[in-house]
C-alpha cells in the first residue's frame, strides 16, 4: 500500500531503498533516521573504489561493492538502507533481488522534491556545483515513470514523501516482524499434527493440565492452563480426521483468548484457498473437511478463513531459543520473511524426486541443521518423536492410528495420547526413523574443519587453529574410534611451577603455594599412576552400548587412548577389562545410585610397557643399552691413561657420574615395565587399571563432583571388583594454608617417589574451582618425581649445570593449553549430559584433539 | 661417543708413531671443542709395542636440543620427546663421525707434517667402537667393513638384560682388526658410522656428495654395498622433511599417546615406490580405473583418497576429464601430490581443471556433491571396518556421484606373492583384505542400500584358482525415476533426550 502519512513503518529487519534525484536529500534523511553503519551510500562506495565520491566512471565497481556489503549485512540480519538515486528500474531490481536472496522485505522510501530544490542543494555543494541541470531533470523523469511500478517490482511497502515538508516531518517507526515473538518465554506446550482428531486433542490438553471450556452445545471452545502455559500448534489442524471444525473451533478459541499460538500447516493453507473460492484439488483428506464444514454456518466459514489468513508461517520464541513451524526451517530462514521461507515452513524442502508412492521425496534438512535454536515442527508422520540435531518432529500420525504428541518447553518432555482408532489409512507406511534418518550417518566435515571457535560454558570461546584441525582430522579419520563412542578426550596437564630446590626441577611446594595464592584452601594430592591413559566407556550390557553409543557386536562399551584410538586391537581384552569394570560398578550399586546405564571413566592402565612397548624399545631401552655398553670401556681407558700419569682425573670423574646417571635412568623406566597381557578375554594377567575420575553418566557431568566424592566411589568399585584388575588411587588432602599440612604433603610425595612412584597430581579438592576474581584455576598440576623425570629430561638432567639450564622453562603456553583443553573436555561432557546432538559433542572432543597438536614443549 | 684406535709396533717402527699420525701427543690429554660438545683425545697406553688412542666425545645433550632453530614454543627443530632422551651422548653416531673429521682432520686428509713418510704406510690396526648403532645389525656391519680387509667382530647388544623378551638393541660392539693406512681407516669410519646409524635427525652439509666422493676414494668405488652406502649416506638429508609443520603436529599427537610418530605419520610411504610389487599392477589398476571412467562418460571426477596423486596425474593427461578433484586426509600426502604434479608450474588453465583438497570420508562433505564419478582406489582397506559405514554414507549416500569405482586387494591372491609371508597383509596399514566373495557381498549390500547397480572386474592376471591381484567394482546409480529402496544406514539412533 502506498502511504502519504508522515509516520513511516518499516519492519525491524528489512532493506530500505531510498529513491530520489540527486540533491533530493537522501543522505540527510538517512542520517536523521538511521545509524551511520546502517546506511550504505553509492557515493561512499565510489570513494572506496576510486578515491573520488563523484567519479561516475567508477559506478559499476562501486555498486558491486555496495551490493556486496548490503548482502553481508542482510545475511547477518541487520536492517540496511541503500542511499543511491535508485531512480532506474534496473538498479532497484538488483536490490530487490538481494533482499529476496536474504529473505528480508524490501521497502521503498521515495523522496519526491521539486527539481529546483535539488538544483539549489547541488549548487551549494562545491563538489556538485558543476552538475548539469539536465542530470536532475533526467532523474526526475525517471522517478515519475517509476512511481507506479514500485509495488509490482517487489517492494512490500512504498512510502511516497511528497515535497520538502513531508520529507522533513517524516518519522520512521520500526515494527517488530510478525514472526518475532522472542519476548514470549512460555512455558509452552507444543502440539503436533492433529488432523481433525478433536477427541484426542481434548485428551492431550487435559493430560497437559489445561482446563477445557465448552459452549452450550458442549463443544470445546477454549482451554487454559492454570499455570499460564501457552499451547503452540504446529499446524495441520484439519483434514482426514473426524472433526476438523471441532479442532478449528477449539484452537481458534485458544488463540483468540491468548492461550495458544498457531502456525499454519500445508492443509490449512489449502483449506484457506478453498474457502476463498480458489480452485484446489480436493484430495489428501480435504474432502472430509469440506463435508464436515458444510454442517457449519457461514459465520464459522468466514471466521476460519480470517483465522487462516492471519497465521504467520513460523514463530521465533523464548529469546530465540525456540522456533516453531509446520515443516521445519533451516537456521538462515529463522525470523526471515519471504515467499520461500513461508514455503519451506509449510511444505519443507524436497529433492525434486518422487518416491514409489508418488509422494515427493523430502530433503532431510534436519540432518544439516546446526542452529542454536531448537526447531519444533510436524508434517512428516513418524512413529516416535526423536531429537535430531536439536530439531524434533511432533507428527506421530494421530490420524493414522498413531499418537498425538506434545513437547513441553523448556522441559523438553514429551507427552502423548494414543489415537482412539485409525481414522484414515496412510498412503504409505510411516517411516521407521525420524525424518532425516538415523544419527548413524557420519558427521559433516564443516562441523570440524577450518579455524573454529567453540563456545564453552566454563571458559567462553576457545579457538581451534586451522592447521591443528587439519592434523586432528587425519588422526580422527584414520585411527580414532567411532565418534559416537568418542564422547570425551582428556585434557593435557601442566606441571607445577619450576622448583628452585637443590636437585629438583619439580617439587610439591610450588603446587601448594600456587593454589594457596589463587585462594584454593584445600587440595587433594593423588598418586600419579605410570601407565597409559585410557578413557573407559562402560555400559550395563551390550544392548545399552549398541542403543546409546552404536557399539557393534555386543561389546558393553569402549576403551580408547588420549587421541581416541581404540586401546586394544584385541576385542577380547576390551571385553575383559569392561567386564571387570562392570563388576565393580554393579557391585557398588552405582548404576542405581546414578540412575544410569552407562558410565564414562578416566583411568590409567598399567604397565606402561603394555602399550608403549615400541617406544620403550626403540627409545628408552636403546639409550640404556648404548650407555651400558659404552661406559665400561671408556672408564677403563681413562683409568689406564690416569695410571700412566696423564691428567684425565676431571674427565674420569665426570664419566663415572654419567655412568651412574645412565644406570639410574635404566632403573627409572624399568619400574614401569613388566610382562602383562595376552590375547582374549582372560588375557588380563599382570594388567592393572586405576580409574581416578568419573566423567559422566546419563544426564550428568560427573567431572564437576569434588574429587574426594569421586574417589570414594572409585574405591568402592575397586573393592567390589576384588582388586584383580582395578587398582586404587592413593591420596592425601592438604590444607594449603597450614604449614604442617603442606609439610605432610611434601613428605608424602617424597615417600611416594622414593618408592619408585611417578609422582602426584595436585588438584583443587572441589574439582571445578574458580579463584579470586572468578578466574578458572588449573584443574590440576603434576609434580613428577626426581627419578621419573630422567625419562623425560634425559639421564643426566640432575647434574647442576643441566638443571640450571632446564629451570628456564616456559609454562605459560602449557598452562593456557591445559585450561583450554579442560574447558573443551568439560564442554563435551556437558553437551553429552544435556543430550545435545552428536555434532555438538564431537565438536568439543575434536577441539581437544586439535589443541593437542599445538606446539608446546613436550617435556612439560 | 667413544672409540679407540690401537696399533702395534717394534722398536724400529714404534706403535707410538700413531701419535704423529693423529697429530696428538700420546702423553697429553687434549680437548677440542666441536659443534656438539667437547671431544677428548687421550692414550690409555702408549708403548713401542702397543699404542692406543681414545676419542671420547662428550655430547652436551641439553645444548644439542637448545641449538635447535626454533624459539619459544617447543624450541627444538623437531619438538618431539625423542630429541630429549636420545642415545647421542652414548652411541657412536654421526656426531662421532663429525668429531673424527674435525679432531683428526690432518690424519683424515693423509697429512703428517712431522713425519710425512708415515702417512702412506699400512699398519696393523685395531679399532674398537663399543656402542655402534647399526641399522641392519651385525650382519650388515660385517658386509660393510669386511671388503676392505678388516677382520670384523660385531657383538649384538641386548636391549635390557632385565627384559630378555625385548631382544637385541640396534647397537653392536664392534672390533675391527687388520692392516690399513690410518687415513683410510678414519675415512671409512667417517662414512660408515653415519651409514650404519641411519638416523633421521641428522643435519647434512650441502657439500656432502663431494665429501662422500673424496672420502670414499680408493675403497667405495668397488665396494659391493656401494649403492646402499651411497643411498643411506645421502638419503639422510630427506630426514629434514620431518620439520615440515604437518609432520610435527602428527608427531605431537603420537606422543600424547606414547606412540612412535611413524605409527600415525604413515600416509606417505618413505620408500620411493608406494605401489605393490610388481609395479605394473599399479599401472594396470590405473588403466582399469580410467577405462571404467571413460565407459561411464564421466568428465567431472573425484579421486577420493588420492594419496600422492598418481591417478590424478593420469586423469590430467586426458582432456575428457574436465574437472578433477583429488581428496586426501593427509596434508603430507597432498603436499607430496602437489609437488609431484608440479602444481606450482601449471598454467591457470591447467590448474582450473584440478583441485587438491583435504577432506575425510568419515564425514559428509558438501564439496563432493554434484560430480559424475568418484574413484576409491585402494582406499577402503585403510579404514577400520567399524568405520566403513560412515565412508559408505559419505560417498554413496551424501556425495552420490553417478558412478563409483572401488578397487581393493584380493586377499586370495596373496598366496601368489612370493615375497609375502603367509597370513600377512600387503601393507602395514591395511586394516583388512577381502576375498572376492567378501568384497562382492559388501559392494552389493552398499549398492542395494543406496540405489546403485554393481559390476565387478578383475585387475591384473585373473588366476583361475585365486582370482586377480586387485578386484574392482563399478557402481552405477540407478535411474532417478526408479528410486532406491532407501533404508537408512544400519545404525541405531542414539537417544539425545530420554522421551518422557
Domain assignment of residue B227, yes or no: yes
Mean pLDDT by 10 residues, chain A (860 residues): 68 95 93 96 95 90 96 96 94 95 95 92 86 90 90 92 92 94 95 96 96 95 96 96 96 96 95 91 88 93 95 96 95 92 88 66 80 92 83 93 94 93 80 41 82 88 92 93 94 94 94 94 95 96 91 93 92 93 94 95 94 86 93 95 93 94 92 86 90 94 94 94 92 95 96 92 92 87 94 89 88 94 96 85 95 87
Domain assignment of residue B482, yes or no: no
Would you say residue B329 has pLDDT above 50?
A: yes
Cβ–Cβ gap A353/B483 under 8 Å: yes
Cβ(B455)–Cβ(B473) below 8 Å: yes
Nearest to B362 among A477, A546, A658 (CB): A477
Compute the count of residue pairs across chains A and B with CB atoms less than 8 Å apart.
Answer: 341
Domain assignment of residue B147, yes or no: yes
Q: What is the mean pLDDT of chain B?
A: 83
What number of H helices and E strands is found in chain B? 16, 15
Which chain A residue's Cα is nearest to B26?
Answer: A646
Q: Quote the CA–CA distance of A432 and A436 in Å, as a whole number.
A: 11
Are residues A378 and A400 both part of a single domain?
A: yes
Instruction: Decide the pairing of beta strands A598-606 and A688-697.
Output: antiparallel
E strands, A682-789, where?
Answer: 688-697, 700-701, 731-735, 759-764, 781-784
Radius of gyration of chain B measured on its C-alpha atoms? 30
**Which helix H or strand E contains A4, and what residues bound it?**
none
**Number of domains into which chain B is organized:** 2
Would you say residue B202 has pLDDT above 60?
A: no
What's the whole-number mean pLDDT along residues B41-59? 94
Are residues A816 and A800 both part of a single domain?
A: no
Which residues in chain B have their CB less than 8 angstroms from residue A566's CB?
A: 384
Torsion angle of the four alpha carbons A598, A600, A603, A606, in this order, in degrees rounded to the nearest 10: 50
Cβ(A858)–Cβ(B255) below 8 Å: yes
Q: What is the CATH number of the domain that holds B437?
A: 3.40.50.150
pLDDT on residue B496: 37
Domain assignment of residue A136, yes or no: yes
pLDDT on residue B495: 38
Are residues A256 and A119 both part of a single domain?
A: no
Cβ–Cβ gap B62/A468 under 8 Å: no
CB hemisphere CA count around A237 (13 angstroms): 27
Are residues B208 and B290 both part of a single domain?
A: no
CA A811 to chain centre: 30
Which residues in chain B have their CB less than 8 angstroms from residue A483's CB?
A: 362
Domain assignment of residue A414, yes or no: yes
Domain boundary among A155, A175, A195: A175
Which residues in chain B have their CB less than 8 angstroms from residue A629's CB?
A: 90, 130-131, 157, 171, 173
Percent helix / strand / coil, chain A, rounded to 5: 40, 20, 40
Terminal Cα-to-Cα distance of chain B (whole angstroms): 72
pLDDT on residue A840: 86
Which chain A residue's Cα is nearest to B44?
Answer: A641
Residue B247 vs residue A223, higher pLDDT: A223
Are residues A186 and A49 both part of a single domain?
A: no
Q: Is B260 on the interface with A (CB under 8 A)?
A: yes
DSSP A776: B
Location of C-alpha cell 515443516: A327
Are residues B293 and B384 both part of a single domain?
A: yes
CA A843 to chain centre: 7
What's the whole-number mean pLDDT along residues B305-328? 94
Give B400-439 pLDDT, tens digit per residue.
999 999 999 999 998 887 777 777 778 888 999 999 999 9
Domain boundary among B189, B211, B241: B241
Are residues B295 and B346 both part of a single domain?
A: yes
Are residues A185 and A325 both part of a single domain?
A: yes
Enter the C-alpha cell of residue A325: 513451524
Tell me which residue of B272, B99, B267 sits closest to B186, measured CA to CA: B99
Are residues B54 and B196 both part of a single domain?
A: yes
Are residues A158 and A232 both part of a single domain?
A: no
Residue ranges making up the domain that contains B222: 2-241
pLDDT on residue A55: 87
pLDDT on residue B421: 76
Give B74-85 pLDDT, tens digit per residue.
333 343 445 677
**Number of domains into which chain A is organized:** 5
pLDDT on residue A280: 87
Residues 401-440 of B with CB under 8 A from A: none
Q: Quote the CA–CA distance of A672 and A123 in Å, as a whole number.
A: 90
Are residues B359 and B217 both part of a single domain?
A: no
DSSP B398: I
Are residues A366 and A476 both part of a single domain?
A: no
Are residues B141 and B190 both part of a single domain?
A: yes
Cβ–Cβ gap B363/A634 under 8 Å: no
Which residues in chain A have their CB less than 8 angstroms from residue B4's CB?
A: 633, 637
pLDDT on residue B236: 54
Which chain B residue's Cα is nearest to A852?
Answer: B253
Domain assignment of residue A552, yes or no: no
Q: Quote the CA–CA distance of A626 and B404 in Å, as a whole number.
A: 54
DSSP string, A160-226: EEEHHHHHHH-EEEEE--TTEETT----EEEE---TT-HHHHHHHHHHTTPEEEE-TTS-EEEEE-T
Domain boundary among A148, A175, A202: A175
CA A82 to chain centre: 35
Cβ–Cβ gap A492/B256 under 8 Å: yes
Shortest CA gap A338–chain B (Å):
25
Q: Quote the CA–CA distance of A748 and A760 in Å, as a whole number.
A: 10
Shortest CA gap A22–chain B (Å):
44
**CB-based contacts of B500, cutoff 8 Å, min separation 6:** A408, A413, A414, A415
Cβ–Cβ gap A641/B90 under 8 Å: no
Are residues B80 and B187 both part of a single domain?
A: yes
Domain assignment of residue A585, yes or no: no
pLDDT on residue B484: 46
DSSP A271: H
Residues 11-30 of B with CB under 8 A from A: 27-29
Cβ(A842)–Cβ(A447) below 8 Å: yes
Q: Quote the CA–CA distance of B144 and B233 in Å, as a whole number.
A: 13
Q: What is the CATH number of the domain that holds B216?
A: 3.30.1610.20
pTM of whole model > 0.90?
no
Domain boundary among A399, A418, A437: A418
Enter the C-alpha cell of residue A719: 573393592
CB hemisphere CA count around A706 (13 angstroms): 9
Torsion angle of the four alpha carbons B138, B141, B147, B150, in this order, in degrees rounded to the nearest 10: -80
Quickly count: other Cβ atoms within 10 Å of residue B345's Cβ.
Answer: 7
Are residues A211 and A333 both part of a single domain?
A: yes
pLDDT on residue A505: 94
Residues 438-477 of B with CB under 8 A from A: none
Cβ(A611)–Cβ(A562) below 8 Å: no
Q: Quote the CA–CA distance of A734 and A751 in Å, as a whole number.
A: 16
Domain assignment of residue B484, yes or no: no
Q: What is the CATH number of the domain that holds A76?
A: 3.40.50.300
Q: What is the CATH number of the domain that holds A234?
A: 3.60.21.10
Give B453-499 pLDDT, tens digit per residue.
999 999 998 999 999 999 999 999 987 554 444 444 444 333 333 33
Are residues A188 and A163 both part of a single domain?
A: no
Most confident of A709-723, B92-106, B208-222, B237-251: A709-723
Shortest CA gap B228–chain A (Å):
23
Which chain A residue's Cα is nearest to B488?
Answer: A437
Which chain A residue's Cα is nearest to B393?
Answer: A441
Domain assignment of residue B60, yes or no: yes
What's the whole-number mean pLDDT along residues B261-276? 60
Quickly count: other Cβ atoms within 10 Å of residue A381's Cβ.
Answer: 23
DSSP A56: G
Domain assignment of residue B272, yes or no: no
Q: Is B121 on the interface with A (CB under 8 A)?
A: no
Domain assignment of residue B495, yes or no: no
Give A91-148 pLDDT, tens digit per residue.
999 999 999 999 999 999 999 999 999 999 988 888 888 888 899 999 999 999 998 8
Radius of gyration of chain A measured on its C-alpha atoms? 36
* Dihedral of alpha carbons B112, B117, B121, B126, sign: negative
Are residues A304 and A396 both part of a single domain?
A: yes
**CB-based contacts of A515, cutoff 8 Å, min separation 6:** A523, A736, A762, A764, A777
pLDDT on residue A353: 66
Residue ranges making up the domain that contains A152: 2-175
Q: Is B330 on the interface with A (CB under 8 A)?
A: yes
Domain assignment of residue A538, yes or no: no
Domain assignment of residue B293, yes or no: yes
Are residues A210 and A306 both part of a single domain?
A: yes
ipTM: 0.82
Give phi and psi for A292, each to the nearest 5. -65, -35
Are residues A132 and A40 both part of a single domain?
A: yes
Domain assignment of residue A450, yes or no: yes
| Length in residues, chain A | 860
3-class state of residue B68 by DSSP:
coil
pLDDT on residue B80: 44
Amino acid at each position: 500500500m502506498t502511504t502519504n502519512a508522515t509516520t513511516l513503518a518499516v519492519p525491524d529487519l528489512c532493506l530500505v531503498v531510498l529513491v530520489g534525484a540527486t540533491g533530493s536529500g537522501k543522505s540527510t534523511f538517512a542520517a536523521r533516521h538511521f545509524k551511520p553503519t546502517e546506511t550504505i551510500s553509492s557515493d561512499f562506495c565510489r570513494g572506496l573504489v576510486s578515491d573520488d565520491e563523484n567519479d561516475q566512471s567508477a559506478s559499476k565497481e562501486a555498486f558491486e561493492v555496495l551490493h556486496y556489503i548490503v548482502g553481508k549485512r542482510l545475511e547477518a540480519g541487520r536492517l540496511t538502507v541503500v542511499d543511491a538515486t535508485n531512480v532506474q528500474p534496473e538498479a532497484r531490481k538488483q536490490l530487490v533481488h538481494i533482499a529476496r536472496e536474504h529473505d528480508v522485505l524490501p521497502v521503498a522510501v521515495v523522496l519526491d522534491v521539486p527539481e529546483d530544490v535539488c538544483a539549489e542543494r547541488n549548487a551549494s555543494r562545491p563538489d556538485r556545483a558543476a552538475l548539469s541541470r539536465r542530470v536532475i531533470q533526467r532523474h526526475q523523469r525517471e522517478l515519475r515513470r517509476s512511481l507506479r511500478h514500485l509495488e509490482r517490482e517487489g517492494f512490500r511497502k512504498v512510502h511516497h514523501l511528497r515535497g520538502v515538508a513531508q520529507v522533513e516531518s517524516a518519522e520512521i517507526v520500526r515494527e517488530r516482524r510478525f514472526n518475532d515473538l522472542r519476548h514470549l518465554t512460555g512455558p509452552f506446550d507444543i502440539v503436533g499434527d492433529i488432523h481433525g482428531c478433536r477427541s484426542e486433542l481434548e485428551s492431550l490438553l487435559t493430560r497437559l493440565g489445561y482446563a477445557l471450556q465448552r459452549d452450550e452445545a458442549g463443544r470445546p471452545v477454549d482451554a487454559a492452563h492454570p499455570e499460564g502455559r501457552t499451547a503452540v500448534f504446529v499446524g495441520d489442524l484439519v483434514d482426514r480426521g473426524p472433526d476438523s471444525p471441532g479442532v478449528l473451533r477449539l484452537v481458534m478459541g485458544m488463540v483468540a483468548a491468548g492461550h495458544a499460538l498457531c502456525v499454519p500447516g500445508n492443509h490449512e493453507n489449502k483449506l484457506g484457498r478453498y474457502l476463498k473460492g480458489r480452485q484446489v484439488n480436493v484430495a489428501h483428506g480435504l474432502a472430509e473437511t469440506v463435508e464436515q464444514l458444510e454442517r457449519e454456518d457461514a459465520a464459522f466459514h468466514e471466521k476460519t478463513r480470517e483465522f487462516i489468513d492471519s497465521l504467520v508461517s513460523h514463530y521465533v520464541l523464548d529469546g530465540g531459543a525456540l522456533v516453531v513451524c509446520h515443516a521445519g526451517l533451516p537456521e538462515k530462514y529463522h525470523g526471515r520473511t519471504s515467499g520461500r521461507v513461508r514455503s519451506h515452513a509449510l511444505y519443507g524442502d524436497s529433492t525434486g524426486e518422487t518416491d514409489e508412492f508418488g509422494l515427493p521425496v523430502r530433503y532431510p534438512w534436519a540432518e544439516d541443521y546446526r542452529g542454536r535454536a531448537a526447531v519444533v515442527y510436524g508434517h512428516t508422520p513418524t512413529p516416535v518423536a526423536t531429537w535430531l540435531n536439536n530439531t524434533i518432529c511432533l507428527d506421530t500420525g494421530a490420524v493414522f492410528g498413531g499418537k498425538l504428541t506434545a513437547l513441553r518447553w523448556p522441559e523438553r518432555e514429551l507427552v502423548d495420547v494414543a489415537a482412539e482408532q485409525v481414522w484414515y489409512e496412510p498412503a504409505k507406511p510411516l517411516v521407521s526413523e525420524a525424518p532425516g534418518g538415523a544419527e548413524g550417518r557420519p558427521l559433516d566435515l564443516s562441523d570440524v574443519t577450518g579455524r573454529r571457535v567453540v563456545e564453552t560454558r566454563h571458559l567462553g570461546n576457545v579457538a581451534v587453529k586451522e592447521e591443528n584441525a587439519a592434523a586432528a582430522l587425519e588422526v580422527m579419520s584414520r585411527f580414532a574410534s567411532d565418534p559416537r563412542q568418542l564422547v570425551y578426550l582428556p585434557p593435557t596437564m601442566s606441571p607445577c611451577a619450576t622448583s628452585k630446590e637443590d636437585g629438583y626441577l619439580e617439587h610439591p611446594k610450588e603446587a601448594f603455594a600456587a593454589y594457596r595464592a589463587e585462594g584454593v584452601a584445600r587440595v587433594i594430592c593423588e598418586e600419579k599412576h605410570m601407565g597409559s591413559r585410557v578413557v573407559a566407556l562402560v555400559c550395563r550390557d551390550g544392548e545399552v552400548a549398541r542403543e546409546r553409543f552404536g557399539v557393534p557386536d555386543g561389546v558393553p562399551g569402549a576403551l580408547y587412548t588420549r587421541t581416541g584410538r581404540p586401546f586394544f586391537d584385541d576385542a577380547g581384552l576390551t571385553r575383559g577389562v569392561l567386564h571387570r569394570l562392570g563388576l565393580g560398578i554393579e557391585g557398588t550399586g552405582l548404576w542405581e545410585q546414578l540412575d544410569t546405564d552407562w558410565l564414562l571413566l578416566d583411568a590409567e592402565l598399567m604397565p606402561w610397557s603394555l602399550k608403549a612397548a615400541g617406544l620403550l624399545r626403540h627409545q628408552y631401552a636403546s639409550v640404556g643399552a648404548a650407555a651400558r655398553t659404552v661406559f665400561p670401556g671408556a672408564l677403563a681407558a681413562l683409568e689406564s691413561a690416569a695410571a700412566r700419569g696423564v691428567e684425565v682425573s676431571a674427565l674420569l670423574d665426570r664419566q663415572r657420574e654419567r655412568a651412574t646417571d645412565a644406570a639410574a635412568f635404566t632403573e627409572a623406566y624399568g619400574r614401569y615395565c613388566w610382562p602383562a597381557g595376552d590375547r582374549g578375554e582372560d588375557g588380563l594377567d599382570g594388567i592393572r587399571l586405576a580409574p581416578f575420575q568419573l566423567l559422566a553418566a546419563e544426564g550428568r557431568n560427573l567431572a564437576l563432583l569434588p574429587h574426594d566424592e569421586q574417589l570414594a566411589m572409585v574405591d568402592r568399585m575397586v573393592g567390589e571388583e576384588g582388586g584383580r584388575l582395578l587398582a586404587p588411587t592413593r591420596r592425601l588432602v592438604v590444607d594449603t594454608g597450614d604449614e604442617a599440612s603442606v609439610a605432610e604433603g611434601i613428605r608424602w610425595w617424597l615417600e611416594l617417589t622414593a618408592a619408585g612412584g611417578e609422582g602426584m597430581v595436585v588438584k583443587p579438592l572441589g574439582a571445578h574451582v574458580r579463584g579470586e576474581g572468578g578466574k578458572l584455576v588449573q584443574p590440576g598440576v603434576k609434580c613428577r618425581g626426581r627419578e621419573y623425570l630422567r625419562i623425560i629430561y634425559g639421564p643426566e638432567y640432575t647434574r647442576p649445570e643441566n638443571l640450571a639450564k632446564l629451570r628456564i622453562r616456559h609454562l605459560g603456553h602449557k598452562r593456557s593449553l591445559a585450561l583450554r583443553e579442560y574447558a573443551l573436555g568439560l564442554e563435551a561432557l556437558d553437551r553429552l549430559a544435556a543430550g545435545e546432538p552428536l555434532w555438538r559433542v564431537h565438536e568439543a572432543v575434536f577441539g581437544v584433539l586439535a589443541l593437542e597438536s599445538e606446539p608446546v614443549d613436550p617435556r612439560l | 661417543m667413544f672409540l679407540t684406535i690401537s696399533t702395534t709396533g717394534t722398536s724400529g717402527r714404534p706403535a707410538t708413531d700413531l701419535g704423529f699420525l693423529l697429530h696428538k701427543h700420546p702423553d697429553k690429554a687434549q680437548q677440542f671443542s666441536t659443534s656438539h660438545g667437547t671431544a677428548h683425545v687421550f692414550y690409555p697406553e702408549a708403548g713401542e709395542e702397543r699404542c692406543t688412542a681414545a676419542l671420547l666425545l662428550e655430547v652436551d645433550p641439553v645444548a644439542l636440543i637448545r641449538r635447535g632453530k626454533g624459539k619459544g614454543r617447543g624450541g627444538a627443530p623437531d619438538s618431539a620427546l625423542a630429541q630429549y632422551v636420545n642415545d647421542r651422548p652414548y652411541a657412536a653416531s654421526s656426531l662421532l663421525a663429525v668429531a673424527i673429521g674435525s679432531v683428526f682432520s690432518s690424519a683424515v686428509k693423509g697429512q703428517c707434517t712431522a713425519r710425512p713418510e708415515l702417512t702412506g704406510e699400512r699398519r696393523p690396526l685395531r679399532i674398537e667402537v663399543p656402542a655402534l648403532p647399526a641399522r641392519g645389525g651385525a650382519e650388515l656391519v660385517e658386509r660393510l667393513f669386511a671388503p676392505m680387509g678388516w677382520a670384523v667382530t660385531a657383538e649384538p647388544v641386548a636391549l635390557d638384560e632385565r627384559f630378555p623378551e625385548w631382544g637385541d638393541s640396534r647397537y653392536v660392539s664392534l672390533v675391527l682388526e687388520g692392516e690399513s693406512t690410518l687415513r683410510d681407516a678414519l675415512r671409512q669410519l667417517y662414512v660408515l658410522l653415519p651409514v650404519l646409524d641411519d638416523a633421521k635427525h641428522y643435519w647434512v652439509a650441502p657439500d656432502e656428495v663431494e665429501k662422500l666422493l673424496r672420502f670414499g676414494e680408493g675403497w667405495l668405488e668397488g665396494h659391493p654395498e656401494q649403492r646402499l652406502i651411497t643411498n643411506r649416506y645421502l638419503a639422510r638429508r630427506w630426514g629434514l622433511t620431518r620439520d615440515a609443520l604437518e609432520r610435527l603436529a602428527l608427531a605431537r599427537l603420537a606422543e600424547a599417546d606414547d606412540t612412535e610418530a611413524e605409527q600415525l605419520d604413515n600416509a606417505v610411504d618413505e620408500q620411493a615406490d608406494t605401489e605393490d610389487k610388481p609395479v605394473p599392477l599399479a599401472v594396470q589398476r590405473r588403466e582399469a580405473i580410467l577405462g571404467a571412467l571413460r565407459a561411464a562418460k564421466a568428465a567431472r571426477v573425484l579421486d577420493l583418497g588420492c594419496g600422492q596423486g598418481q591417478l590424478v596425474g593420469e586423469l590430467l593427461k586426458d582432456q575428457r576429464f574436465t574437472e578433477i578433484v583429488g581428496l586426501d586426509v593427509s596434508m603430507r600426502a597432498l603436499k607430496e601430490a602437489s609437488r609431484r604434479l608440479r602444481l606450482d608450474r601449471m598454467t591457470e588453465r591447467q590448474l582450473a581443471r584440478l583441485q587438491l583438497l583435504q577432506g575425510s570420508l568419515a564425514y559428509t562433505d558438501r564439496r563432493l556433491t554434484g560430480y559424475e564419478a568418484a574413484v576409491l582406489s585402494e582406499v577402503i582397506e585403510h579404514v577400520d571396518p567399524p568405520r566403513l559405514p560412515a565412508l559408505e554414507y559419505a560417498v554413496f549416500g551424501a556425495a552420490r556421484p553417478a558412478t563409483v569405482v572401488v578397487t581393493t586387494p584380493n586377499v586370495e591372491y596373496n598366496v601368489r606373492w612370493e615375497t609375502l609371508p603367509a597370513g600377512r597383509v600387503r601393507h602395514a596399514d591395511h586394516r583388512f583384505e577381502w576375498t572376492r566373495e567378501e568384497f562382492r557381498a559388501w559392494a552389493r549390500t552398499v549398492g542395494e542400500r543406496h540405489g546403485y547397480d554393481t559390476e565387478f572386474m578383475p585387475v591384473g592376471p585373473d588366476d583361475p584358482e585365486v582370482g586377480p591381484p586387485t578386484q574392482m567394482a563399478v557402481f552405477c546409480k540407478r535411474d532417478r525415476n526408479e528410486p532406491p529402496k532407501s533404508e537408512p544406514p544400519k545404525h541405531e539412533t542414539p537417544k539425545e533426550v530420554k522421551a518422557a
